[in-house]
């Protein structure tokens, strides 16, 4: 029976440390500030943004929310980002994705100053991560690494299988495992015989957005399972892993909700404090 990885608890204790760091910065006359830009009225995005604001305030980060209507032009959004880049009181800038169709997401990510890129998506941040330089790391992948280390899981020499190759989770988390001397295999929608690969994993990270994709017969005894999926089915949140089945085979597993999610916001706060420092 797997040990359930309590992301809420691990996030809570990490946030206590961040709160102390924020207090030390304030003693030096620096008030850490995060500005979040939300374009349009996507309910999921609104809920994420509220969670970020609440978490920031709890640890002593000033949080500013800029709401822009759905019909905002790309030019208008880029002007707002440039203004924030030049504002010395703002330490972190986050543009909530997805953006409406008339706006090119890449242009927006590229426009944020790398010194304020607390999401860790700027090409400069990603490039530095690739070569193992200190930089802002993407929040969900960094949260996953933190969970695994907190649980005392050995990464060096482990076979890590990642299901999903998104720019936000799959690709960067694989690179971070590689930087820690793991052997990494990427799987995705074009992989034939997915179970052949997932059964080889010592650590399995699943981030595709397909409910219950990974079942008990697809994993080996003692695997550590990190479920990044968040799917709403019949009004309930469930992951990409069949939790009830897989927990009988795995040694450790993250629940959905309450696993990776709390760590994502925690790493955003961590990056904001770093930016202020």
- Token pair recorded at residue 105: 């997401």
Q: Is 108 within 8 Å of 84 (Cβ atoms)? A: no
Report the phi/psi class of residue 157: left, alpha or beta, with left for phi > 0 and alpha for psi in -120 to 50. Answer: left
How far apart are alpha carbons 216 and 155 in whole angstroms? 23
Active-site residue identified among 52, 116, 202, 227: 52
How far apart are alpha carbons 105 and 86 in whole angstroms? 21
**Residue 119 is a catalytic residue:** yes
**Residue 277 is a catalytic residue:** no
- 3-class SS at 62? strand
Active-site residue identified among 21, 33, 117, 119: 119
Contacts of 61 (CB under 8 A, 6+ apart): 22, 32, 33, 34, 269, 272, 273
Q: Are strands 231-233 and 236-238 parallel, antiparallel or unpaired?
A: antiparallel
How far apart are alpha carbons 225 and 5 in whole angstroms? 9
Contacts of 95 (CB under 8 A, 6+ apart): 36, 37, 39, 77, 81, 108, 109, 112, 119
How far apart are alpha carbons 68 and 41 in whole angstroms? 9
Using only the alpha carbons of the chain, give its radius of gyration. 19
**Residue 102 is a catalytic residue:** no
Active-site residue identified among 96, 117, 240, 242: 96
Q: Which residues are catalytic?
A: 52, 96, 119
């Amino acid at each position: 029976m797997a040990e359930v990885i309590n992301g809420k608890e691990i996030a809570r204790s990490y946030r206590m440390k961040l709160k102390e760091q924020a207090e030390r910065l304030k003693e030096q006359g620096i008030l850490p500030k995060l500005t979040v830009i939300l374009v349009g009225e996507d309910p999921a995005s609104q809920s994420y943004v509220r969670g970020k604001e609440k978490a920031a305030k709890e640890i002593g980060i000033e949080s500013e929310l800029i709401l822009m209507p759905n019909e905002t032009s790309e030019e208008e959004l880029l002007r707002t980002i440039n203004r924030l880049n030049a504002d010395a009181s703002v330490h972190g800038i986050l543009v909530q994705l997805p953006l409406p169709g008339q706006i090119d997401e890449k242009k927006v990510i590229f426009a944020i100053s790398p010194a304020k890129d607390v999401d860790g998506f700027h090409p400069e941040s990603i490039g530095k991560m690739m070569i193992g330089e200190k930089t802002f790391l993407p929040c969900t992948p960094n949260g996953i690494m933190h969970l695994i280390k907190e649980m005392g899981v050995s990464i060096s020499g482990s076979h890590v299988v990642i299901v999903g190759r998104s720019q936000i989770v799959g690709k960067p988390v694989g690179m971070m495992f590689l930087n820690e001397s793991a052997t990494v295999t990427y799987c995705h929608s074009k992989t034939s015989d997915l179970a052949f690969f997932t059964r080889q994993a010592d650590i399995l990270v699943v981030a595709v957005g397909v409910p219950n994709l990974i079942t008990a017969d697809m994993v080996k005894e003692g695997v550590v399972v990190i479920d990044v999926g968040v799917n709403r089915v019949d009004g309930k949140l469930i992951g990409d892993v069949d939790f009830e089945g897989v927990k009988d085979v795995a040694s450790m597993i993250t629940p959905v909700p309450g696993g990776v999610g709390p760590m994502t916001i925690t790493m955003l706060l961590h990056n904001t404090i770093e930016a202020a420092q």
